[in-house]
Amino acid sequence: MQAAQFANCLGAAASTCTEQNFGPIGTGPFVVTEFKTNDTVSLAANPNYRDPAKPAFATMTVKGGGDAEAAARAVMETGEFDYAWNTQINPELQAAMAGGGNGVFLNGFGTLVERIEMNMTDPSADLPEGERSTTEHPHPILTDIRVRTALSMAIDRQILVDVGYGNAGRPTCNLVPAPEMFASDNTGCLTQDIEGAKALLDEAGWVVGTDGIREKDGKKLKLLYQTSTNPVRQDFQALIKGWWNEIGVEVELKNIDASVFFGGDAGSPDTFQKFYADVEMYANNFDGTDPEPYLAQYMCDKIPGPDNQWQGENINRFCDPAYDALVKEMSATAEMGKRAELAKKMNDMLTKDSMVVVPLVDRGRLSAASTTLGGVVLNTWDTELWNAQDWFRIK
């Protein structure tokens, strides 16, 4: 990206620079010609690209919004598009679509973890706008680690894998599952323990009422659980709601169009950064093979809020000076063994030690490519458009 173009778009000002954000000047194989919010990006071949023989395509259209199944069908059945990213659909539907012969599914494991984030702040609509989901108001239920741990213990991660991913997923307790040297030996969450979860909630003072829902000090143990609109995610929501009901938790489900949920619009109440829910589920990963920037997202100064246009990366509002100190230590450490040790400590602080992040599935990246599109190499360590300059049409 061009420094001069974005000089006045740093920090909180970033979301106000519409012209720059919609038409960035870069060195890639394509340049933006039109950007339609929550819809499409139109691009044309960059006439100044460093390799005059590339790209092979004169134009490219990137389509956003909708859901994973529709995206997969656009490649595998209708042929409307050549490539679909994040085709998160169940194994049976994958097999049915692949049988048509119009496309192939691509899969590879990297660092993409489907997880539940626990809101450490109060998202209640009873609070004034600008104070919901901010550190001024701790969460009235989830600040108790016993509740967070019980919610994690009630989940059967292997069933989630079987239902949602098959061979394209594996259960995990880690936020950082790879590279191997950075992956913690953290497997305690892999065995579901319904009775243990009930005992923890008993210990925390949540008593089962006549309707089967736990209560404490006149307050119901009720949670709003949100995620993006996606068939696998809705299957996960239904399963997890059932397990949480079993331990006495009332659960309300909400799903939001992905273009809105991940859109970052500071004016929308439905972004994952704003987090106007008690728990929310999504997946992301880090580019490259070093997790330091990814783990640094959970530092205290990265919390989204009205003062930074809700643009911070610390989605669950976790804040621990000891964690921040580990991030700073890692940034000053070059020896790889020590870096790995620090990464594991931070991973464990977020997961098994505090349960503010509840990992579910180590997801293989699953995408779809047309049989007429050549040059595609799925790279789980970078954007999937990393080598778009090498894509070509198979005659």
Average pLDDT, the chain: 95
Cα separation, 270 vs 252, whole angstroms: 15
Question: Is 210 part of a structural domain of the chain?
Answer: yes
Q: Quote the tokens at residue 61.
A: 């259209």
CATH number at residue 239: 3.10.105.10
372 and 315 share a domain?
no
pLDDT at 86: 86
Residue 11: what pLDDT?
A: 84
| Count of H-run helices and E-run strands, the chain | 11, 15
Pick the closest to residue 298 from 272, 282, 275, 317 (CA basis).
317
What one-character DSSP code corresponds to residue 368? E
Rounded CA-CA distance 175/294 in Å is: 10
Tokens 């098959």 locate to: 166
**pLDDT for residue 69:** 92
Which stretch of DSSP H or E encloses residue 240? helix 231-246
Tell me if 203 sits within 8 A of 146, measured CB to CB.
yes
Mean pLDDT computed over 220-243: 96
**pLDDT at position 140 over 90:** yes
This prediction has a pTM of 0.80
pLDDT of amino acid 15:
82
Residue 167 pLDDT class (50, 70, 90 cuts): confident
CB neighbours (10 Å) of residue 222?
Answer: 14
- Percent of the chain past pLDDT 90, that is, above it, reads 87
- Residue 227 sits in the same domain as residue 149: yes
* Neighbouring-strand partners of residue 254: 226
* pLDDT at res. 262: 94
The answer as to whether 69 is a domain residue is yes
CA 135 to each of CA 138, 148, 322: distance values in angstroms, whole numbers, following the listed order = 6, 18, 18
Which residue carries 């530092």 as its tokens? 299
Task: Give tens-digit pLDDT for 95-127.
Answer: 999 999 999 999 889 999 999 999 999 999 999
Joined together, the tokens standing for residue 299 give: 């530092």
pLDDT attached to residue 352: 95
Q: Judge if 317 and 335 occupy the same domain.
A: yes
In the predicted structure, residue 37 carries a pLDDT above the cut 90:
no
> What is the reported pLDDT for 285?
87
Cβ within 8 Å of residue 26, ≥6 positions away: 1, 2
Do 98 and 197 lie in a common domain?
no
370 within 8 A of 197, measured Cβ to Cβ? no
Does residue 2 lie within any of the structural domains?
A: no
Q: Which residues have a Cβ under 8 Å from the Cβ of 151 and sit 6 or more positions away?
A: 116, 118, 197, 244, 249, 279, 355, 358
User: Among 158, 317, 156, which residue's Cα sits nearest to residue 242?
Assistant: 156
**Strand pairing class (222-228; 279-284):** parallel
Q: To which H or E segment does residue 47 belong? A: none
Q: Return the number of other C-beta atoms located less than 10 Å from residue 184's C-beta.
A: 19
**Backbone phi, psi, residue 288, to 5°:** 75, -165
The residue among 275 and 129 whose pLDDT is bigger is 275
- Domain that residue 31 falls in: 11-109+365-393
Q: Mark whether 311 and 254 lie in a shared domain.
A: yes
CA distances to 142, 187, 308 from 318, rounded to whole Å, are 12, 22, 17
What's the pLDDT tens digit per position in 203-226?
999 999 999 999 999 999 999 999
Count: domains in the chain: 2
Same domain, 264 and 339: yes
Q: Are residues 241 and 99 in the same domain?
A: no
299-348: pLDDT as tens digits: 999 999 999 999 999 999 999 999 999 999 999 999 999 999 999 999 99
Q: Which of 46-50, 141-145, 380-384 has the lowest mean pLDDT?
A: 380-384
In angstroms, rounded to a whole number, what is the distance separating the alpha carbons of residues 133 and 54?
47
Residues 32 and 122 placed together within one structural domain of the fold: no
**Residue 64 three-state SS:** coil
Three-point CA angle 276, 154, 152, nearest 5°: 50
Q: Are residues 133 and 246 in the same domain?
A: yes
Q: What is the CATH number of the domain that holds 19?
A: 3.40.190.10
Please indicate, yes or no, if residue 203 is contained in any of the structural domains: yes
Tokens for 92, please give them: 């049976």
3-state secondary structure of 165: coil
Tokens of 319: 């804040």
Is 6 within a domain? no
Closest CA to 385 of 373, 268, 213: 373
11-15, 71-75, 355-359: least confident range: 11-15
pLDDT of residue 389: 98
**What band does 287 get if pLDDT is binned at 50, 70 and 90?**
confident
